[in-house]
Structure 1
Amino acid sequence: MNEQALIAIVDDDDHIRTLLQAYLHKENFRTIGLSTAEDAWVLAQTNPPALWILDIMLPGMDGYELCRRIREKGEVPIVMISAKDDEVDKILGLELGSDDYMVKPFSPRELVARVKRQLERWMKVNGGDRRFTESNGDELIAVGALQLNVLERRIFWQHAEIDLTSKEYEMVKVLASHPNRAFTRDELLTHVWGDDYFGSDRAVDHLIKRIRKKIDLPIEAVWGHGYRMRIEKGDA
């Protein structure tokens, strides 16, 4: 892990920003503190950080909207922080693409530990295509109207290239590499997030939901189990 990674802290509470920056500096991280989502969005487009720490309640644009915009740009880790501890708020944060959610007040040391885990996991996921190379050594994976160029990490649906984030691509690759196989949520968590992921398996459901909005893939839920890519004979 690159301990000089830039961490952006978006919170309108000066005390919280200063406190978190101090703890992150002790771990040799670089930080930038921002008090509004509007300023953070400018940063996202000009000099995006390695990880975001986002408060939900912000003046103007809130943390949810900022999270949604950041996630549309890519798969950079996002940790949301909030005084709201209702389950619906946590679920909304996950649905919009956050990787973790912490309720105030929290231990700054715990937040730093979670930041480290998220960055380590991101590097594992984005460190190259390591999975299924023995069973799928060809450059292309083709399933019906879906094609994946493994070496270039590009995906095509009905001959049109589709823009997917890293985790979306990994999820499609796992399912397309084994059509009709039913994967458990735990298996998909391991393949896409890494074997040290400790969050909720609802992250799988939210990622599948995001993929379905972009591509009309035949991904079906296997109730009480997980998901599979259903391919009829003659389509593969």
Structure 2
Amino acid sequence: MADPATAPGDSPAARAQTIALVDDDRNILTTLSISLQAEGFATRVYTDGETALKALLDNPPDLAIFDIKMPRMDGLSLLQALRAQSSLPVIFLTSKDEEPDEALGLAMGADDYITKPFSQRLLVARIRAILRRSELTRTPSDAAAAEGLPELVVRGRLQLDPARHQVTWEGEPVSLTVTEFLILEALATRPGVVKSRNQLMDAAYSEDVYVDDRTIDSHIKRLRRKFRAVDPEFGAIDTLYGAGYSFSDA
């Protein structure tokens, strides 16, 4: 059941960023919720994946944190169902013996994971890092340039707006996760240059998140699938077997 707690001072004029917490351990939910509210976030809590999924789609928060092991719908199933309809940033909470689940979660589109037990300071730092990368700004383009925000990246039919985390292909919007966006940005900013999987890992993940080659391959497959939903002939992401990937849209 959801607990629509909000941080003190939350208002339409200065809305606190909202974090959804999904875990069947009510003690963890209470502890995390109190800690995050103390940091200025609003929180919503859910004790099972099925309840959380509907709420996350009907009223999306700014970021969600899932435990992997839950009744009714576990964290991996919840992520899979969510990714079919949403690019909401997601952090996994895992135990030390859940390394295969960590890798699978990242390959399925999670933005980060944290291993239990963890410090509240580490969790807050990870949350803020992802929100900085994914937050949509509403600054007009000329004002964005004056403030030193990243400029638009235009490569043929592709347009990326890093400041707003927006992507279009032939004018049609393409919804990407934070990780997918960063991988695409790394490729598109240097068209024709082959980026190795390690280089794409460095572009998409923080230094202390470890992923394997298959994770990057899974992200590339999802990127191609999303663009082909807009343009069935999309072929701008090239594979150089044994070397990596490049972007080319002449």
Q: TM-score, normalised by structure 2?
A: 0.70
Deviations for 1:58-77, whole angstroms, at most 9, x for unmatched residues?
Answer: 11111111112323333322
The one-letter code sitting in structure 1 at the alignment partner of 2:91 is V
Q: 1:223 aligns with which of 242, 245, 248?
A: 242
Using the TM superposition, give the Cα deviation of residue 83 of structure 1 relative to its aligned residue in structure 2, in angstroms. Answer: 2.8
The one-letter code sitting in structure 2 at the alignment partner of 1:97 is G
* Structure 1 residues 1-236: aligned runs within 5 Å: 4-83=16-95, 85-123=97-135, 141-142=155-156, 147-150=157-160, 153-156=167-170, 161=172, 163-165=174-176, 167=178, 168-169=180-181, 171-172=183-184, 174-176=186-188, 178-185=190-197, 187-188=199-200, 198-200=208-210, 202=212, 204-214=216-226, 215=228, 217=235, 218-221=237-240, 223=242, 226-229=244-247, 236=250
* Alpha-carbon distance change, 223 to 80 in structure 1, aligned in 2, over 3 angstroms: same
| Aligned pairs, number | 216
Looking at structure 2, the residues matched to 55 and 230 of structure 1 have their Cα atoms a distance apart, in angstroms, of: 39
Looking at structure 2, the residues matched to 131 and 209 of structure 1 have their Cα atoms a distance apart, in angstroms, of: 26
Q: TM-score, normalised by structure 1?
A: 0.74
CA contact (8 A) 2:109 2:177 kept: no
Q: Which stretch has the larger CA shift, 27-36 or 160-169?
A: 160-169
Q: Look up the SS of the partner of 1:58 in the other structure.
A: coil
RMSD: 3.4
Deviations for 1:122-145, whole angstroms, at most 9, x for unmatched residues?
Answer: 238998896575xx6xxx532xxx
In structure 1, the gaps of 5 or more residues are none
The one-letter code sitting in structure 2 at the alignment partner of 1:107 is S
Identity percentage of aligned residues: 31
